[in-house]
Structure 1
Amino acid sequence: MNMLKIVAVPMHKEGRKFVAIFAAISVGLFFLWEPLFWLGCGVTVWCYYFFRDPVRIIPQDPNLVISPADGIVSLIEDVVPPADLDLGDAALTRVSVFMNVFNCHVNRAPVAGTVTQIVYHHGKFVNASLDKASEHNERNGLSIETTSGARIGVVQIAGLVARRIVCFVKVGDPVGAGYRFGLIRFGSRLDIYLPAGVSPLVAVGQTAVAGETILADLAAPQKQRIGVAE
């Protein structure tokens, strides 16, 4: 195994200016007090790590819904999706993945399809792990329609520290499963709304990996999985 590929993980271009700023501040701190310089170096390395963009192995089955984010599955519940996502007014299963400040924050498309809706809402910045964050926090919602006609909702939610949601796609854009469609800076959450009748294949507390962890199978609905911590 190439150790360089493990240590020198590619960084997303969104992070370049932040790393440059932290590096410049660190140099300035050196002339004030050397210990502050080393502290600044540590923060610079963390910033690089935060904006890392590792290669992922994307499942190629078009019926699979994969996680759009790295993090912990924090909530699974049936709720009515936001009206502006055009997913109907019936309750759907929502899977929430919470990202802390050490997770990779590049967001990936959960399915292949076409972006049919993008709606941005200004809001608060309460802890993204709380249920009320879905309604009250700053957020950006997308709907993706697959070639089979299934619609998946994905909502980027800003967190307690996050102050910037970035979306790289627009309505009408085709996306592949695992396609990098956005990024949230410094701690946040993603909500995924599954089509009616589709149950999640993950459990609350499970670690999810963006572009790799399978959240659901559109072609083979199963009973919701229950996990037990040991």
Structure 2
Amino acid sequence: MKRIFFVEDDLSLIHGLSFALRQQGYEVIIARTCLEAETLWQAGGFDLAILDVTLPDGSGFDLCRRFRQSSKVPILFLTAADEETDVIMGLDIGGDDYITKPFKLAIFLSRVNALLRRSGDFRQPDDTLQSGGIIVHQLTREVIKDGAPVELTASEYKLLCFFLEHPNLVLSPEQILSRLWDCEQNYIDSSTLTVYIRRLRAKIEDDPSNPKRIITVRRMGYKWNAAK
């Protein structure tokens, strides 16, 4: 499922467009301010960003500049600002398309679909996962914490990637264990999972005894805290 990051403060547009996008089969993650957008962006894994230009605490142009420092994900501006200079600025700083309000829903969806068809060309070539100060370059299997490399075992690496692919979601032990089966289908039990969690925390947490990235959710499982 394609993931769309939608930054907009107009509730009527949020409800209408997010409903239409979900009807098309897309997952929609919504932010209403620049601060909220920057926090959610850290989770990564988006296929398209739709940015309003005028937000309560800043500009979609500023968000675009920051996003472009680490991502090539397509960006579509959606705004009432239809001055030629605004359109040129939006495209010059890294936007891929620009729609002015009011607009027809069919045209909006057509633009979104067109950008998503090309989204594979905009992804980082190494399919980077990034969250909470942790960066994983999946092509090279390189793991970076706060700018320094981290050495992980194969199982620890798979566990970390699984968490980064599902930020802020509670993952049950059964879900995690299914990911950690080895290639011979030898089952890894819950006791071994506990050991892997402890070892991974020792390598990626600032204080493993008080973890902020991998959170234990009592009687449910574990959660990667993308807002760390």
Structure showing the higher strand proportion among its residues? 1
Q: Which has the higher contact order (CA 8 A, sep 6+)?
A: 1
TM-score by length of 1: 0.25
Structure showing the higher helix proportion among its residues? 2
**Structure with the greater alpha carbon radius of gyration:** 2
